[in-house]
Structure 1
Amino acid sequence: MKKIVSVDFYAQFGFLKKPDINDGIYLTYNCLHKPALQGILGAILGFGGYSLEGEMEENQIPEYREKLGGIRIGISPIKSSNGNFKKDVIRFTNTVGYANVIVKKKQQIPSTLIINEQTLIKPSYRVFIELDINNEIESKLDLCLKNQEAEYIPYLGKNDHQLWWENYVEWNIDDTDYIPEKEYNLDSIFLKPYEDEKLLKSQRRVSLGDSKEKFAYFERLPKGWHKALPHYELGEFLYTNYQLQPEAKLSGLVKIYNVQRGNYVIQLF
């Protein structure tokens, strides 16, 4: 039997490193993504992660990825500015010995490694998780989230940024394969099915009298792991309070409700 639960993850700071940029400054993703969330859930359950070089066999998959890879999740930025979080650049010195040496003409020369790191300020996310209560691992995860218990201390991107969570909620599933028949709101980030603008076509112009600010936040985020290489698999994600068109044909839509929280439509992936 499957159910959907949600919790609100938050931290004072966060750093979800973009692996393709490290020249002069390390940049962060704005939104929590699925591979990072798998690591957080793995820490809560006490699963093993990436070991030191030489301790893992080539192409070996970390324990948390192997055991949590099939869980579907949904993510919503909360307490944000239209999906975006404030960021600042922190400058610090890496004092590890091997990081403070440069090689010139085959000679090691003492140097100082100064790092500029873009950091999220007070990021928070509502995470929806589909769990099978008949599965031992997923049932244990459910209890850990409900009781705010963790085997290892979870963090948001690096161990300087400890992570907490609150507001555990169980959701009733109204439709596990929701197919909208009219315009609707989607309450989580979702994968764009194509590159054009059909999703918001009828709402590009908003009346000046509309009291609710409209926004559309786009980000290219990891949606999983490459099947053959140890790399992220990326996807184009969108988060918006515009109503969406039913002909968009989004996959993984689920309609949920809670007596205290109301009705939501989210995408699980």
Structure 2
Amino acid sequence: MTTLSRGARGAAILAAPLALFLFWPARAETQPEIRFVPAYFSGDFGTGISTGMTYVPLIFIFGSTRQELRVTVPYLSVTTSQPVTFVGNEIIPRGPGGRTAESGLGDIVAQEEYFFLEGGRRRPWLSGLIRIKAPTADDTRGLGTGEWDYGPGAAVIQPLGARWNLLGEAQYVVRGDPRGTDFRNTWWLSGGLQKKLSGSTAASLYYERMQSVVPGRPDLVDLILGYDHGFARRLTLRTSVFVGLSDTAEDYGLSAGFSMR
């Protein structure tokens, strides 16, 4: 029996959502979308280890007014002054050693969200979701843990007039434990405001807080400023600036890319 390499498995996984996106039937009630929004993060993440990380995701979205399936296929490049392991948004020291530079396929994430209540001018949108992370990254190079993660969540979008939205989301993540570790399950919370500046432009401000997988380690806290501008009905520019508010978060981060329907 032939065993596929990790790279070949990653290519096969990437091909599935890409084919689904290209051949998704054009119906009024469904709308496929693809996003390409590279990001760069820098800091020591509370470890004292100088880290620069480039995160390049392809995000495939398939949804309707009541449901959305999102598949994220990322490429990672991590340069550090000592070996580390990338655990979600967190950097964990991986033992002694000198400067390292690792890159490759990251962990692929699938998220299914269902809207139980459709919002209106004053009524909120309420949804439940489930998120699964597949261990497709190479754990021997610190690009992932080599374990499955999963968990439920809930989200709310509350309109505040014609231009403002109040946003909130909570997820609980059940962590897989690599050999010799005992990661704790974590909460991931976010809240923010979004303003429609025009018919094609929106700005947002988010506060995000995530528990560390290491008991006793401070939470990861971020402030995220986003700006989106639609150039056409099918193409949107998406940009964000990240500011770490805790020692365990990045010092800063930047992202810029596009989405296409």
Structure with max Cα Rg:
1
TM-score (norm: length of structure 2): 0.26
**Where is the helix percentage greater, Structure 1 or Structure 2?**
1
TM-score (norm: length of structure 1): 0.25
> Which structure exhibits the higher relative contact order, with contacts defined as CA atoms closer than 8 Å and separated by 6 or more residues?
1
**Where is the strand percentage greater, Structure 1 or Structure 2?**
2
